[in-house]
Structure 1
Amino acid sequence: MNRILMLLFMCMPVMLWAQRLPVHEKQKELQERMVEVSLSEIQERLSLTEMQISQLRPVYKQYQKKVARLNMQNHKLFNRMNADTLSDEQAKTILREYLDRERKLYALNKQYMDNLLEILSPQQVIKLYQSDSDIKRKIRMEYLRRTGKPKR
Protein backbone atom coordinates (compact mmCIF):
# COMPACT_ATOMS: atom_id res chain seq x y z
CA MET A 1 0.00 0.00 0.00
CA ASN A 2 2.83 2.40 0.87
CA ARG A 3 4.48 1.71 -2.48
CA ILE A 4 1.33 2.60 -4.35
CA LEU A 5 0.98 5.85 -2.43
CA MET A 6 4.64 6.67 -2.98
CA LEU A 7 4.38 5.89 -6.71
CA LEU A 8 1.24 7.97 -6.97
CA PHE A 9 2.96 10.82 -5.12
CA MET A 10 5.97 10.64 -7.44
CA CYS A 11 3.75 10.68 -10.54
CA MET A 12 1.70 13.65 -9.35
CA PRO A 13 3.97 16.33 -10.93
CA VAL A 14 3.85 14.53 -14.27
CA MET A 15 0.08 14.24 -14.13
CA LEU A 16 -0.27 17.91 -13.22
CA TRP A 17 2.08 18.89 -16.04
CA ALA A 18 0.08 16.80 -18.50
CA GLN A 19 -3.12 18.54 -17.43
CA ARG A 20 -1.54 21.97 -17.88
CA LEU A 21 -0.34 21.28 -21.40
CA PRO A 22 -3.70 21.88 -23.08
CA VAL A 23 -4.10 25.15 -21.15
CA HIS A 24 -0.68 26.26 -22.44
CA GLU A 25 -1.73 25.37 -25.97
CA LYS A 26 -4.99 27.27 -25.53
CA GLN A 27 -3.09 30.30 -24.27
CA LYS A 28 -0.74 30.13 -27.23
CA GLU A 29 -3.66 29.86 -29.64
CA LEU A 30 -5.41 32.78 -27.93
CA GLN A 31 -2.27 34.92 -28.16
CA GLU A 32 -1.93 34.11 -31.86
CA ARG A 33 -5.56 35.08 -32.46
CA MET A 34 -5.05 38.33 -30.56
CA VAL A 35 -2.04 39.15 -32.72
CA GLU A 36 -4.04 38.50 -35.89
CA VAL A 37 -6.92 40.65 -34.64
CA SER A 38 -4.45 43.39 -33.70
CA LEU A 39 -2.87 43.26 -37.15
CA SER A 40 -6.27 43.45 -38.79
CA GLU A 41 -7.21 46.45 -36.66
CA ILE A 42 -3.84 48.11 -37.33
CA GLN A 43 -4.24 47.57 -41.07
CA GLU A 44 -7.63 49.26 -40.97
CA ARG A 45 -6.60 52.17 -38.71
CA LEU A 46 -3.45 52.93 -40.69
CA SER A 47 -5.00 52.23 -44.11
CA LEU A 48 -2.13 49.90 -44.95
CA THR A 49 -1.75 48.35 -48.37
CA GLU A 50 -1.58 44.59 -48.81
CA MET A 51 2.15 44.95 -49.47
CA GLN A 52 2.71 46.87 -46.23
CA ILE A 53 0.69 44.45 -44.10
CA SER A 54 2.44 41.44 -45.64
CA GLN A 55 5.79 43.02 -44.72
CA LEU A 56 4.58 44.10 -41.29
CA ARG A 57 2.99 40.77 -40.26
CA PRO A 58 6.22 38.76 -39.65
CA VAL A 59 7.97 41.72 -37.98
CA TYR A 60 5.02 42.34 -35.66
CA LYS A 61 4.55 38.66 -34.79
CA GLN A 62 8.24 38.09 -34.07
CA TYR A 63 8.39 41.21 -31.90
CA GLN A 64 5.30 40.22 -29.92
CA LYS A 65 6.72 36.74 -29.30
CA LYS A 66 10.07 38.04 -28.12
CA VAL A 67 8.54 40.68 -25.85
CA ALA A 68 6.18 38.10 -24.34
CA ARG A 69 9.11 35.76 -23.67
CA LEU A 70 11.17 38.48 -21.96
CA ASN A 71 8.20 39.63 -19.89
CA MET A 72 7.45 36.06 -18.84
CA GLN A 73 11.07 35.54 -17.78
CA ASN A 74 10.95 38.67 -15.63
CA HIS A 75 7.60 37.64 -14.22
CA LYS A 76 8.96 34.21 -13.29
CA LEU A 77 12.12 35.75 -11.89
CA PHE A 78 10.26 37.89 -9.37
CA ASN A 79 7.20 35.81 -8.58
CA ARG A 80 8.91 32.55 -7.69
CA MET A 81 10.92 33.80 -4.77
CA ASN A 82 10.63 35.24 -1.34
CA ALA A 83 12.76 38.38 -1.19
CA ASP A 84 13.00 38.11 2.59
CA THR A 85 14.90 34.81 2.37
CA LEU A 86 17.49 35.97 -0.19
CA SER A 87 21.02 36.86 0.71
CA ASP A 88 22.34 40.21 -0.51
CA GLU A 89 24.41 38.43 -3.15
CA GLN A 90 21.44 36.41 -4.43
CA ALA A 91 19.30 39.56 -4.58
CA LYS A 92 22.02 41.42 -6.51
CA THR A 93 22.29 38.53 -8.97
CA ILE A 94 18.54 38.59 -9.55
CA LEU A 95 18.56 42.36 -10.04
CA ARG A 96 21.43 42.05 -12.55
CA GLU A 97 19.43 39.41 -14.45
CA TYR A 98 16.44 41.75 -14.46
CA LEU A 99 18.51 44.65 -15.82
CA ASP A 100 20.02 42.37 -18.44
CA ARG A 101 16.53 41.49 -19.65
CA GLU A 102 15.57 45.18 -19.63
CA ARG A 103 18.61 45.91 -21.83
CA LYS A 104 17.51 43.13 -24.18
CA LEU A 105 14.02 44.62 -24.25
CA TYR A 106 15.45 48.05 -25.11
CA ALA A 107 17.55 46.57 -27.93
CA LEU A 108 14.52 44.64 -29.16
CA ASN A 109 12.39 47.82 -29.16
CA LYS A 110 15.07 49.71 -31.06
CA GLN A 111 15.38 46.96 -33.68
CA TYR A 112 11.59 46.77 -33.96
CA MET A 113 11.32 50.50 -34.62
CA ASP A 114 14.10 50.32 -37.22
CA ASN A 115 12.25 47.45 -38.93
CA LEU A 116 8.98 49.35 -38.83
CA LEU A 117 10.58 52.43 -40.39
CA GLU A 118 11.65 50.30 -43.35
CA ILE A 119 7.99 49.41 -43.96
CA LEU A 120 6.02 52.44 -42.74
CA SER A 121 6.37 56.19 -42.59
CA PRO A 122 7.34 57.71 -39.22
CA GLN A 123 3.79 59.00 -38.80
CA GLN A 124 2.40 55.51 -39.46
CA VAL A 125 4.80 54.06 -36.88
CA ILE A 126 3.46 56.49 -34.29
CA LYS A 127 -0.10 55.55 -35.25
CA LEU A 128 0.85 51.88 -35.00
CA TYR A 129 2.14 52.38 -31.44
CA GLN A 130 -1.00 54.32 -30.52
CA SER A 131 -3.26 51.70 -32.07
CA ASP A 132 -1.39 48.84 -30.48
CA SER A 133 -1.68 50.48 -27.07
CA ASP A 134 -5.38 51.13 -27.56
CA ILE A 135 -6.02 47.56 -28.74
CA LYS A 136 -4.19 46.08 -25.75
CA ARG A 137 -6.14 48.33 -23.39
CA LYS A 138 -9.42 47.16 -24.94
CA ILE A 139 -8.36 43.52 -24.70
CA ARG A 140 -7.45 44.01 -21.04
CA MET A 141 -10.78 45.67 -20.32
CA GLU A 142 -12.68 42.88 -22.07
CA TYR A 143 -10.70 40.26 -20.13
CA LEU A 144 -11.52 42.01 -16.84
CA ARG A 145 -15.17 42.27 -17.83
CA ARG A 146 -15.39 38.56 -18.73
CA THR A 147 -13.53 37.32 -15.68
CA GLY A 148 -15.19 39.72 -13.29
CA LYS A 149 -11.84 40.83 -11.90
CA PRO A 150 -11.65 44.37 -10.53
CA LYS A 151 -9.82 47.06 -12.50
CA ARG A 152 -6.39 48.08 -11.26
Structure 2
Amino acid sequence: MRHTLLALLACLVAVSGAAQRHGSFSERLFNAKVGEIAYRLTLTDEQVAKFRPIYEQYNKDMIAAWGDDEADAAAKTSAEAAERVKQRMERQQRAQSIRIAYTDRFATVLTPGQLQRFYRVESDIQRRLRQRKSAGRSPRSRR
Protein backbone atom coordinates (compact mmCIF):
# COMPACT_ATOMS: atom_id res chain seq x y z
CA MET A 1 0.00 0.00 0.00
CA ARG A 2 2.79 2.39 0.94
CA HIS A 3 4.63 1.74 -2.33
CA THR A 4 1.40 2.29 -4.26
CA LEU A 5 0.87 5.65 -2.58
CA LEU A 6 4.46 6.70 -3.18
CA ALA A 7 4.11 5.70 -6.83
CA LEU A 8 0.85 7.66 -7.02
CA LEU A 9 2.53 10.73 -5.55
CA ALA A 10 5.40 10.41 -8.03
CA CYS A 11 2.92 10.05 -10.90
CA LEU A 12 0.91 13.01 -9.72
CA VAL A 13 4.04 15.14 -9.57
CA ALA A 14 5.00 14.00 -13.06
CA VAL A 15 1.52 14.58 -14.51
CA SER A 16 1.26 17.89 -12.76
CA GLY A 17 4.68 18.83 -14.10
CA ALA A 18 3.67 17.97 -17.64
CA ALA A 19 0.48 19.99 -17.32
CA GLN A 20 2.24 22.96 -15.80
CA ARG A 21 5.70 22.93 -17.35
CA HIS A 22 6.36 26.45 -16.20
CA GLY A 23 4.85 25.98 -12.75
CA SER A 24 7.11 26.21 -9.75
CA PHE A 25 8.12 23.20 -7.71
CA SER A 26 5.87 24.35 -4.86
CA GLU A 27 2.87 24.53 -7.22
CA ARG A 28 3.56 21.04 -8.53
CA LEU A 29 4.01 19.73 -5.01
CA PHE A 30 0.77 21.37 -3.89
CA ASN A 31 -1.11 19.84 -6.84
CA ALA A 32 0.34 16.42 -6.03
CA LYS A 33 -0.74 16.78 -2.39
CA VAL A 34 -4.28 17.74 -3.43
CA GLY A 35 -4.34 14.79 -5.83
CA GLU A 36 -3.24 12.32 -3.18
CA ILE A 37 -5.70 13.71 -0.63
CA ALA A 38 -8.51 13.52 -3.19
CA TYR A 39 -7.55 9.93 -4.01
CA ARG A 40 -7.16 8.74 -0.43
CA LEU A 41 -10.36 10.46 0.76
CA THR A 42 -12.23 9.53 -2.45
CA LEU A 43 -13.34 13.10 -3.02
CA THR A 44 -15.76 13.89 -5.82
CA ASP A 45 -14.82 16.45 -8.48
CA GLU A 46 -17.19 18.90 -6.81
CA GLN A 47 -15.55 18.35 -3.43
CA VAL A 48 -12.08 18.83 -4.93
CA ALA A 49 -13.17 22.12 -6.50
CA LYS A 50 -14.40 23.39 -3.12
CA PHE A 51 -11.57 21.82 -1.11
CA ARG A 52 -8.66 23.20 -3.17
CA PRO A 53 -8.96 26.92 -2.25
CA ILE A 54 -9.47 26.13 1.44
CA TYR A 55 -6.51 23.75 1.45
CA GLU A 56 -4.38 26.24 -0.47
CA GLN A 57 -4.85 28.88 2.24
CA TYR A 58 -4.39 26.25 4.97
CA ASN A 59 -1.15 25.16 3.31
CA LYS A 60 0.12 28.77 3.14
CA ASP A 61 -0.79 29.35 6.78
CA MET A 62 1.00 26.16 7.84
CA ILE A 63 4.13 27.13 5.91
CA ALA A 64 4.09 30.53 7.61
CA ALA A 65 3.56 28.93 11.04
CA TRP A 66 6.51 26.59 10.68
CA GLY A 67 8.75 29.34 9.36
CA ASP A 68 12.38 28.41 8.96
CA ASP A 69 12.46 24.87 10.28
CA GLU A 70 16.17 24.78 9.50
CA ALA A 71 16.74 26.62 12.77
CA ASP A 72 16.72 23.21 14.48
CA ALA A 73 20.41 22.76 13.70
CA ALA A 74 22.66 21.52 16.49
CA ALA A 75 22.97 23.93 19.38
CA LYS A 76 26.37 24.71 20.86
CA THR A 77 25.25 25.57 24.38
CA SER A 78 22.52 24.46 26.74
CA ALA A 79 20.92 27.89 26.49
CA GLU A 80 20.82 27.66 22.68
CA ALA A 81 19.35 24.16 22.90
CA ALA A 82 16.66 25.32 25.33
CA GLU A 83 15.81 28.28 23.10
CA ARG A 84 15.52 26.07 20.02
CA VAL A 85 13.29 23.61 21.87
CA LYS A 86 11.01 26.49 22.92
CA GLN A 87 10.92 27.84 19.36
CA ARG A 88 10.02 24.39 18.01
CA MET A 89 7.21 24.06 20.55
CA GLU A 90 5.90 27.51 19.62
CA ARG A 91 5.84 26.51 15.94
CA GLN A 92 3.99 23.30 16.86
CA GLN A 93 1.49 25.32 18.88
CA ARG A 94 0.88 27.73 15.96
CA ALA A 95 0.40 24.79 13.60
CA GLN A 96 -2.07 23.13 15.98
CA SER A 97 -4.05 26.38 16.26
CA ILE A 98 -4.27 26.52 12.46
CA ARG A 99 -5.48 22.89 12.29
CA ILE A 100 -8.20 23.69 14.83
CA ALA A 101 -9.22 26.89 13.03
CA TYR A 102 -9.55 25.13 9.66
CA THR A 103 -11.53 22.14 10.92
CA ASP A 104 -14.86 23.95 10.50
CA ARG A 105 -13.88 25.15 7.02
CA PHE A 106 -12.93 21.66 5.88
CA ALA A 107 -16.17 20.32 7.42
CA THR A 108 -18.16 22.41 4.92
CA VAL A 109 -16.68 20.31 2.09
CA LEU A 110 -15.78 16.93 3.58
CA THR A 111 -18.05 14.27 5.03
CA PRO A 112 -17.52 13.42 8.72
CA GLY A 113 -15.50 10.31 7.77
CA GLN A 114 -13.39 12.21 5.27
CA LEU A 115 -12.74 14.95 7.80
CA GLN A 116 -11.54 12.42 10.37
CA ARG A 117 -9.16 10.85 7.82
CA PHE A 118 -7.98 14.15 6.34
CA TYR A 119 -5.56 15.15 9.09
CA ARG A 120 -4.05 11.64 9.21
CA VAL A 121 -3.55 11.64 5.43
CA GLU A 122 -2.12 15.16 5.47
CA SER A 123 0.22 14.26 8.32
CA ASP A 124 1.36 11.15 6.43
CA ILE A 125 2.13 13.23 3.33
CA GLN A 126 4.12 15.74 5.39
CA ARG A 127 6.03 12.95 7.13
CA ARG A 128 7.01 11.38 3.80
CA LEU A 129 8.09 14.77 2.45
CA ARG A 130 10.29 15.33 5.51
CA GLN A 131 11.81 11.87 5.05
CA ARG A 132 12.59 12.55 1.41
CA LYS A 133 14.05 15.93 2.30
CA SER A 134 16.31 14.46 4.98
CA ALA A 135 17.29 11.56 2.70
CA GLY A 136 18.33 14.10 0.09
CA ARG A 137 20.74 15.59 2.58
CA SER A 138 22.33 12.31 3.56
CA PRO A 139 26.04 11.84 2.87
CA ARG A 140 25.20 9.25 0.20
CA SER A 141 23.38 11.82 -1.91
CA ARG A 142 26.45 14.06 -1.96
CA ARG A 143 28.64 11.55 -3.80
1:130 aligns with 2:125: no
The Cα shift of 1:142 comes to: 2.8
TM-score, length-scaled by structure 2: 0.60
**Alpha-carbon spacing, 1:97–1:143, altered in 2? closer, same or farther (3 Å):** closer
The percentage of aligned residue pairs carrying the same residue is 25
**Alpha-carbon spacing, 1:38–1:82, altered in 2? closer, same or farther (3 Å):** same
Contact 2:66 2:92 in 1 (8 A): no
1:42 aligns with 2:60: no
Alignment partner of 2:97 out of 96, 107, 110 = 107
Larger radius of gyration: 1
How many aligned residue pairs are there? Answer: 116
Alignment partner of 1:31 out of 15, 26, 35 = 26
- Report Cα offsets for 1:14-37 as digits up to 9, x if no partner: xxxxxxxxxxxxxx9323222110
Structure with more relative contact order (C-alpha pairs < 8 Å, separation 6 or more): 1
- Report Cα offsets for 1:118-149 as digits up to 9, x if no partner: 1112210122112212222222333334x252
Show the counterpart of 2:57.
Answer: 62
Indicate the RMSD between aligned Cα atoms, in angstroms. Answer: 3.5
The runs of at least 4 aligned residues of structure 1 exceeding 3 Å deviation read 73-76, 81-86, 95-107
Gaps of 5+ in 1: 1-27
Could you tell me which amino acid in structure 2 is paired with residue 149 of structure 1? S
Higher helix proportion, which one?
A: 1
Gaps of 5+ in 2: 1-22
TM-score, length-scaled by structure 1: 0.57
